[in-house]
């Protein structure tokens, strides 16, 4: 699908690219492919839900959810007051994979490995606590 000139200009302004940088950006055909699918991805919310929790120093509990827009940005107003960086860092690959599947035309919810755990190994292994999270992509709220 072709991206219209208005979208390119809007993106250039959004990213703060010079004309030369934008020309370089447009040379990569994958960028146009991604942009052509962007409107559909903007209508999605990536939800990472805590499915197991024990001893979490940040007090994340089963049922807590972290919300990301389709671009992978954390939607802080929908998240718990405190968000553990170690929990977030463990879901980076899941979010990236879900987006890549979406761009390839595959439902990200069909991802086989969509569960991750924080990097704290828990008290049984010398840590403090541990949480397990599962990713799901939903229509935007």
Provide the pLDDT for residue 90.
95
3-class secondary-structure state, position 11: helix
Cα separation, 136 vs 141, whole angstroms: 13
Q: Are 119 and 126 in contact (CB under 8 A)?
A: no
Residues in the chain: 141
Provide the pLDDT for residue 123.
87
Provide the pLDDT for residue 26.
96
Which residue, among 94, 103, 100, has the nearest Cα to 133 in the 3D structure? 94
Provide the pLDDT for residue 2.
85
Provide the pLDDT for residue 78.
94
Q: pLDDT of the chain along its 141 residues, tens only?
A: 688 899 999 999 999 999 999 999 999 999 999 999 888 888 999 999 999 999 999 999 999 999 999 999 999 999 999 999 999 999 999 999 999 999 999 999 999 999 999 999 888 899 999 999 999 999 986
Provide the pLDDT for residue 21.
97
The pTM of the full predicted model, rounded to 2 decimals, is 0.89
Q: List the domain boundaries for the chain.
A: 5-41, 44-139
For residue 46, the cross-strand partners are 68, 137
């Amino acid at each position: 699908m072709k991206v219209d000139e208005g979208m390119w200009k809007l993106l250039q302004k959004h990213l703060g690219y010079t004309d030369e940088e934008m020309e370089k950006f447009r040379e990569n055909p994958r960028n146009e492919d991604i942009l052509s699918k962007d409107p559909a991805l903007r209508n999605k919310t990536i939800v990472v839900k805590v499915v197991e929790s024990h001893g979490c120093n940040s007090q994340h509990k089963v049922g807590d959810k972290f919300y990301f827009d389709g671009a992978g940005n954390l939607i802080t107003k929908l998240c718990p007051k405190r968000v553990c960086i170690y929990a977030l860092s463990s879901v980076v690959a899941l979010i990236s994979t879900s987006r890549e599947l979406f761009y390839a035309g595959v439902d990200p919810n069909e991802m086989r490995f969509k569960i991750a755990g924080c990097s704290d190994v828990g008290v049984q292994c010398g840590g403090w606590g541990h949480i397990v999270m599962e990713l799901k992509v939903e229509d935007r709220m």
